[in-house]
């Protein structure tokens, strides 16, 4: 591979990092070709591309991201594949958990692919022990939706009270006028 081909791969990664706020670095070493193909099919069906890159290419592309990404260097050892997600930071974690459930493991065997690190809107999580926590993280859109719901709730309560109070008042006035 010559320099221009290497630079094209790095540029491709930089573009993907710019398009996707969330990405997970996973280790797929030790997986059979059939297992990797099954995993890629699952990723494709969920709209999350999975591709294996050289660690040096990943590092150079990550240098273009905002913030300090040096904490991810620990994850950039061995074989590294990247799962990209535009929508949600928890979607790749849920996908990994879903795939792990389909595996038949022998005693002492580790479910692959293994999470090495995750980048979520400038936050970095390193290590497979973070997988369970990452499945519960809410995305930016989910949090904004919850916030809007919370802000609308008091206004709806006030409007409901005013409307019901108006109906009660009208009923009382009507009853009083009928008595006279």
For the chain, the three-class secondary structure string (H helix, E strand, C coil) is CCHHHHHHHHHHHHHHHHHCCEEEEEECCCCCHHHHHHHHHHHHHCCCCEEEECHHHHHHHHCCCCCCCHHHHHHCCCCEEEEEECCCCCHHHHHHHHHHHHCCCCCCCCCCCEEEEEEECCEEEECHHHHHHHHCCCCHHHHHHHHHHHHHHHHHHHHHHHHHHHHHHHHHHHHHHHHC
Residue 10: the pLDDT is 92
Please state the pTM of the whole predicted model.
Answer: 0.74
74 Cβ contact partners less than 8 Å away, ≥ 6 residues apart = 117, 126
Residue 166: the pLDDT is 60
Q: What residues form DSSP beta bridges with 168? A: none
**How far apart, in Å, do the first and last CA atoms of the chain sit?**
99
CATH architecture entry for 3-137: 2-Layer Sandwich (3.30)
Residue with tokens 């990404």: 69
Residue 167: the pLDDT is 66
- At residue 45, φ and ψ (nearest 5 deg) are -65, -25
Residue 7: the pLDDT is 92
Residue 178: the pLDDT is 77
Q: What is the mean pLDDT of each run of 10 residues along the chain (180 residues)?
A: 90 90 88 88 90 91 87 89 87 90 77 89 87 82 80 71 65 72
Residue 158: the pLDDT is 65
61 Cβ contact partners less than 8 Å away, ≥ 6 residues apart = 10, 13, 14, 17
Distance CA 21, CA 83 (A): 11
């Amino acid at each position: 591979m010559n320099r221009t081909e290497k630079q094209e791969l790095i540029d491709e990664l930089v573009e993907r990092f710019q398009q996707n706020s969330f990405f997970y670095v996973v280790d797929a070493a030790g997986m059979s070709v059939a297992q990797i193909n099954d995993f890629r099919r699952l990723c494709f069906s969920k709209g999350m591309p999975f591709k294996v890159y050289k660690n040096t290419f990943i590092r150079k592309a990550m240098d273009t991201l905002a913030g300090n990404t040096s904490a991810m260097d620990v994850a950039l050892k061995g074989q590294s594949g990247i799962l990209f997600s535009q929508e949600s930071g928890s979607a790749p974690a849920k996908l990994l958990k879903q795939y792990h459930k389909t595996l038949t493991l022998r005693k002492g065997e580790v479910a692959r692919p293994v999470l090495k690190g995750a980048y979520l809107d400038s936050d970095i999580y390193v290590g497979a022990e973070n997988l369970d926590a990452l499945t519960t993280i809410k995305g930016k859109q989910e949090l904004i939706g919850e916030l809007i719901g919370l802000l609308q709730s008091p206004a709806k309560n006030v409007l409901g009270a005013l409307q019901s109070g108006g109906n009660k008042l009208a009923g009382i006035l009507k009853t009083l006028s009928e008595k006279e």
